[in-house]
Amino acid sequence: MTEKEKMLRGEYYSSDDPTLVHLRENAQNLVEQYNQPGGGDRGQLLDMLFGYHVEGLIIRPPFFCDYGINIKVGRNFYANFNCVLLDVAKITIGDDVLLGPNVSLVTASHPIDPEKRRQRLEYGKPITIGNNVWIGADVTVNPGVTIGENAVIGSGSVVVKDIPANTVAVGNPCKPIRTIEPE
């Protein structure tokens, strides 16, 4: 099994693998172009980075990711300044999702065992965000988390566990504080 296959399966893998290094360098080149003042055709750069076209996609620079190819966003996705999508595992985002400034979706993790860390092994767990979610400024979503549709995550939260649909959740660790009812 290749290191890329291990990475996508959530198993320990070596990020020093030449194929993974090449993929990260390719993504880094596209991201650097995207983040330049004037940025060229930013839509085309995102199409190349993600490997597909998204209707209504807006990501305000600067933007950062590891690979790009492991990110799937729905229609009308908006990410404010300093969005970080560390996509060693799949990041799946539904339609009409809003991210405030300085939001990080982090699928990458490292072993607790110090010997495995010295070997530079890592692994990832996917992040899934449902439709119509709003994530406030300075939020970090950790590996393996699912956020249900229509949820609102308050600014400064650290999301370490799944958040149910139709809830407002805040804090560190982030916890639901109320249900969202139709107005």
Active site residues: 110
Q: Are strands 98-99 and 78-79 parallel, antiparallel or unpaired?
A: parallel
Distance CA 61, CA 42 (A): 10
- 101, 119 in Cβ contact below 8 A? no
The structure tokens listed for 164 are 């149910």
3-state SS, residue 84: strand
Helix 18-35 vs helix 42-50: crossing angle, to nearest 10: 160
Label residues 50-64 b or e (16+ Cβ within 10 Å = b): beeebeebebebebb
Distance CA 42, CA 36 (A): 10
